Amino acid sequence: MENNDNVIYIGDKPFMNYVTAVVMQFTSKNAEELLVRARGKYISRAVDIVEVATKRFLDGKVKPVDIRIDSEEFENKEGKRVRVSTMEIVLRKAE
Amino acid sequence: MENNDNVIYIGDKPFMNYVTAVVMQFTSKNAEELLVRARGKYISRAVDIVEVATKRFLDGKVKPVDIRIDSEEFENKEGKRVRVSTMEIVLRKAE
């Protein structure tokens, strides 16, 4: 399921763009599973998007089946090591 | 595990207050399990706190074993229905 079609990265595009993208994967594209990924401050947003998409639009027929958190470290422009949290939510069609 | 001692709610106190509270539960208070809860925009912060506490301070000896997301609906002051996302992270001492 790690092909790009089945991964949605949450950033600062309009909220409903992401909700629509999630919903479409399970409706018109008939996906069984989808991975929603976010980093840093976008993690809260990813949870909002998943909640609205699955409960309001997909009517509980799609559920988060696995939620993982982790950290990435990298060097910023000033050469300082920076840590950022990451989250992955696996969404799957309910049986 | 749902007694109040073993639940930490993330809000807008200083970041390290929460990190210390999480670490202390597993060190001086010797807890086996801890529930970290957050709502709305504090969800990203809760993930940051859990990542820093478990990886930097607890050296991977405590891990998130379950992460759940949900929504709450309530009426705001203007009588409008508002939805807010919630997250719970269950931390547990590794064997």
State residue A60's pLDDT score: 87
Structurally, chain A folds into a number of domains equal to: 1
For every residue of A30-72, which 3-state class applies, written as one string? CCCEEEEEEECCHHHHHHHHHHHHHHHHCCCCEEEEEEEEEEE
State residue B60's pLDDT score: 86
Residue A40: exposure state from Cβ atoms within 10 A (0-12, 13-18, ≥19): middle
Distance CA B3, CA B29 (A): 14
Count of Cβ atoms closer than 10 Å to residue A29 Cβ: 12
List the single residue in A with minimal CA-CA distance to B65: A68
Residues of B in contact with A40 (CB under 8 A): 44
Point out the residue among B67, B71, B83 whose CB comes nearest to the CB of A67. Answer: B67
Q: What is the pLDDT of residues A26-67, one digit of tens each?
A: 999 999 999 999 999 999 999 999 999 999 999 989 999 999
Domain that holds residue B23: 4-93
pTM listed for this prediction: 0.92
In 3-state terms, chain B is what percent helix, strand and coil (to 5)? Answer: 35, 40, 30
> Residue A69 and residue B47: Cβ atoms within 8 Å?
yes
Q: Tell me which residues of chain B have a pLDDT lower than 50.
A: 1-2
CB A32 within 8 A of CB A90: no
CATH code of residue B14: 3.30.110.20
CB B66 within 8 A of CB B50: no
Residues of A in contact with B88 (CB under 8 A): none
Task: Please say if the pLDDT value at position A2 is more than 70.
Answer: no
* Look-up of token digits 């809860």: B37
Q: State the nearest Cα–Cα gap between B88 and chain A, in angstroms.
A: 11
List the single residue in B with minimal CA-CA distance to A86: B47
Point out the residue among B43, B48, B64 whose CB comes nearest to the CB of A47. Answer: B43
Task: Please say if the pLDDT value at position A74 is more than 60.
Answer: yes
